[in-house]
Amino acid sequence: MARIVMKFGGTSMAGIERIRHVAGLVKREAERGNQVAVVVSAMAGETDRLVQLCREAASLYDPREYDVVVASGEQVTSGLLAITLQGMGLNARSYMGWQLPIRASGHAAALIDHIEAEVLERAFAAGGIAVIPGFQGVTELGDVATLGRGGSDTSAVALAVAMKADRCDIYTDVDGVYTTDPRIVPKARKLARITYEEMLELASVGAKVLQTRSVGLAMRYNMPLQVLSSFEDVPGTMIVADDAIEDRDMERNLITGIAYDKNEAMITLFGLPDESGTVAKIFGPLAEAGINVDVIVQSSPIEGQRSALTFTVPKASLDHCLDALARHKAEIGYDEIIHYTDVVKVSVVGVGMRSNPGVAAKMFQVLAERRINIFAISTSEIKVSVIIDMDYAELAVRVLHTAFGLDQEDAA
């Protein structure tokens, strides 16, 4: 007997037919003798609709009331799944965030503080299946709180930790984590296992299978995650700790996957004074405006005593960013500002590169052979990212995928 959290996303809950299919998957786990808690998202499109209503009601809406409105989507699907499971003869019921309770702090992007597992323990002891709306909790003041977009993944992992589950299964509309985007590289392989760290790097560079926050949480509590399809009955990808993999895969690949992200814009400031404090003057105002800066490259002085600085920001933040820099122009002291939106960030990711310093060099060489210009570079312990022209995105991913030995050998 195992204790399992099963989480289903919006496309899996989009309508009664799909909910019935989900109920079938839950039933199968229950009939294996497992204790099951199910975490559900709102029907696909419903949260967008509710967010839009809040925006129309007032452009600066109160996050507390926003949470009351948007939490309703998961309330509906959890009730409907409980009804469907009961209709199949199973002992199931729903528990809202405020009923368990799932304690959280803040509004609109609340953080989970604590989940009481007592109610669930009683339910499991009585042979029951618990259906829990994702994305929601309750504040200390007794108000509904939501966790921010994609928060249901985090709900599922937090719940798995609280109830000491053996595994947290994330059912989604893809059947696992791939070495890269199969739409670009038909030879992409589904990974049987991947580490939390690799998954984090792949997620943060645009492989949006799981909310980054949920992977971080799973890593912290060493909760095994499984990504699998709610539509196809095939094995998914296990996301586990580093040591859980290396014991078994002596000859695992140096590189686990190639990711790309087309949602970054690149900004270059020319003619910066070459004095200490300049970088702080640039990034201080951006941090205040809540803008996430990613790749940063400071080039050596190119014209006299003045240098240039290049960095990337999410495209959605570009206008805010340019506005903040314009307001602080005198203070920073740059001559000229240029921005590019036709860029892509391509990253090679893998824990294997920790012990192999040649990955970056090999990546640059492969791109150079194809005459692909690199505008900026950033590295971490298990990742090398480059910013290149958007036109070469697919080509770069493909050649890197082949060069690092990731191609599926028996691909049709």
Instruction: By CB under 8 A, name the binding residues for its own copies.
Output: 16, 19-20, 50, 53-54, 56-62, 64-69, 71-73, 75-76, 78-80, 82-84, 86-87, 93-94, 96, 98-99, 142-144
Smallest gap from residue 24 Cβ to its own copies (A)? 13
Smallest gap from residue 356 Cβ to its own copies (A)? 53
Q: Which residue has the tokens 């289903």?
A: 8
CB nearer to its own copies: pick between 86 and 229:
86
CB nearer to its own copies: pick between 78 and 268:
78
Return the DSSP state at 306: E
CB nearer to its own copies: pick between 6 and 96:
96
Pairing mode, if any, of strands 383-389 and 343-349? antiparallel
CB nearer to its own copies: pick between 86 and 253:
86
- Phi, psi for 318 (deg, rounded to 5): -55, -50
CB nearer to its own copies: pick between 67 and 264:
67
Sign of CA dihedral 129, 133, 136, 139: negative
C-alpha 377/C-alpha 296 separation (Å) is 8
Smallest gap from residue 10 Cβ to its own copies (A)? 15
Smallest gap from residue 307 Cβ to its own copies (A)? 47
Pairing mode, if any, of strands 144-146 and 193-195? unpaired
Return the DSSP state at 70: H
Nearest Cα to Cα of residue 190 among 204, 210, 203, 175: 175
* Phi-psi map region of 142: left, alpha, beta (phi>0 left; psi -120 to 50 alpha): left
CB nearer to its own copies: pick between 50 and 374:
50
CB nearer to its own copies: pick between 27 and 189:
27
Q: Which residue has the tokens 């933040």?
A: 317
Count of CB atoms situated within 10 Å of the CB of 326: 9
Nearest Cα to Cα of residue 274 among 299, 309, 306: 306
CB nearer to its own copies: pick between 76 and 241:
76
CB nearer to its own copies: pick between 43 and 269:
43
Smallest gap from residue 124 Cβ to its own copies (A)? 18
Smallest gap from residue 19 Cβ to its own copies (A)? 7
CB nearer to its own copies: pick between 79 and 333:
79
- CA dist 108 to 74, 96, 286, Å? 15, 17, 22
Smallest gap from residue 91 Cβ to its own copies (A)? 11
Residues 288, 317, 340: CA angle, nearest 5 degrees: 125
Judge contact between 167 and 50, C-beta under 8 A: no
Smallest gap from residue 131 Cβ to its own copies (A)? 9
* Phi-psi map region of 245: left, alpha, beta (phi>0 left; psi -120 to 50 alpha): alpha
Smallest gap from residue 127 Cβ to its own copies (A)? 16
Nearest Cα to Cα of residue 171 among 210, 143, 202: 210
Element (H, E) at 227: strand 225-229
Judge contact between 176 and 229, C-beta under 8 A: yes
Smallest gap from residue 365 Cβ to its own copies (A)? 56
